[in-house]
């Protein structure tokens, strides 16, 4: 496949890009840090062997004016576009976001508004080519409001609702929307946080996500056990959620 991926320089995005290049997909990495992009391209080129096709294009999820030109350049380099993946985003604990309104604004803007705007640009390009796959990382935090993730969860809830709507509206036109809902995954983003039961590793999450992309699965929980965990959490009544600490 010809894939543009935003957020492949670290964590789950890096693991996913490695799996893609190892099986022969052609990649353009989108990101904001030139040095990290250079490192990632070198790593992926070595893993993909002599025939690997991987390059990078600057794109910052905090700067919507970059979205259209970045995707246009990626499409030209790939000589087509089959799939767009978005793993990039911001995170902050509830305590951090309550104490820092500027940080809260950034998380809400990047994780919801700007991600949706980026997806809209990707959607238009994929549909213009007759369809393709749009895979976007949301979170289980968006499935149910909880005390530790009020603000972050609200942004992810909005993103998940948007992706669900895209699936309803455009699947028949050839656009496969894949909403990934990771549970707690051990990455740089979660470093220093206490890991709950069922915490996943980036590589195993990447394998689950890649299968979801290939199958066009509308919602992918990773690790898969989080589907059942969140089914139970969503069934809890409001009075129980007020008392809950998770």
* % pLDDT > 90, the chain: 86
Nearest 10 degrees: Cα torsion 112, 85, 28, 171: -110
Residues 200/184, Cβ–Cβ less than 8 Å: yes
pLDDT of 244 > 70? The answer is yes
Q: Is the pLDDT of residue 39 over 70?
A: yes
Nearest to 123 by CA among 91, 62, 166: 166
User: Predicted confidence band at 54 (pLDDT cuts at 50, 70, 90)?
Assistant: very high
Question: How many other C-beta atoms are found inside a 10 Å radius of the C-beta of residue 192?
Answer: 7
Q: Which residues pair with 177 in a beta bridge?
A: 134
CA distances from 141 to 103, 173, 208, 229, 234 (A): 18, 30, 19, 12, 11
For position 50, what pLDDT does the model report?
A: 72
Q: What is the pLDDT of residue 49?
A: 76
Which residues, including other chains, have CB under 8 Å from residue 123's CB and lie 6 or more apart?
134, 166, 170, 175
- Give the SS3 label for residue 138: coil
Residue 202 has a pLDDT of 82
Q: Is 191's pLDDT higher than 60?
A: no
pLDDT of residue 193: 55
Q: Is the pLDDT of residue 198 over 80?
A: no
Alpha helices in the chain (DSSP H): 11-22, 34-48, 67-78, 94-99, 101-108, 115-128, 150-170, 202-215, 226-234, 238-243
Which residue, among 85, 89, 236, has the nearest Cα to 158 in the 3D structure?
Answer: 89
Q: Which CA distances in Å does 89 have to 7, 173, 245?
A: 8, 28, 25
Domains of the chain, first to last = 2-243 (3.40.50.720)
Give dist(CA 64, CA 110) in Å, integer: 10
Give the pLDDT confidence of 9-26 residue by residue, as tens digits: 988 899 999 999 999 999
**pLDDT confidence band for 2 (50 / 70 / 90):** very high
- Tell me how far apart the alpha carbons of residues 12 and 201 are, in angstroms, rounded to a whole number: 8
Average the pLDDT over 123-132 and give the result.
Answer: 97
In this prediction, residue 8 carries a pLDDT of 92
User: CA-CA distance, 53 to 20, in Å (whole number)?
Assistant: 11
For the cut 90, the answer to whether the pLDDT of residue 74 exceeds it is yes
Please tell me the predicted confidence (pLDDT) of residue 120.
98
The angle, 0 to 180 degrees and rounded to 10, between the axes of the packed helices 202-215 and 11-22 is 60
């Amino acid at each position: 496949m010809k894939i543009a991926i935003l957020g492949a320089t670290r964590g789950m995005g890096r693991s996913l890009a490695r799996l893609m290049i190892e099986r022969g997909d052609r990649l353009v990495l989108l990101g904001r840090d030139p040095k990290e992009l250079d490192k990632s391209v070198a790593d992926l080129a070595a893993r993909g062997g002599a025939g690997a096709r991987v390059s990078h294009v600057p794109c910052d999820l905090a700067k919507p004016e970059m979205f259209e030109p970045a995707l246009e350049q990626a499409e030209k380099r790939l000589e087509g576009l089959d799939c767009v993946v978005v793993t990039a985003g911001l995170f902050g604990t509830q305590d951090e976001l309550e104490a820092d309104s500027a940080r809260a604004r950034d998380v809400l803007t990047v994780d919801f508004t700007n991600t949706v705007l980026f997806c809209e640009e990707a959607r238009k390009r994929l549909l213009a080519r007759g369809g393709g796959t749009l895979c976007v990382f949301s979170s289980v935090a968006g499935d149910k409001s909880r005390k530790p993730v009020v603000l972050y969860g609200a942004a992810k809830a909005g993103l998940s609702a948007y992706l669900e709507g895209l699936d309803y509206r455009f699947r028949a036109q050839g656009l496969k929307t894949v909403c990934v809902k990771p549970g707690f995954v051990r990455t740089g983003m979660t470093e220093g946080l206490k890991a709950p039961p069922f915490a996943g590793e980036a590589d195993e999450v990447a394998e689950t996500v890649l299968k979801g992309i290939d199958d066009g699965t509308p919602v992918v929980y990773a690790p898969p056990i989080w589907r059942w965990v969140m089914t139970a959490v969503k069934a809890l009544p409001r009075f129980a959620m007020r008392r809950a600490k998770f």
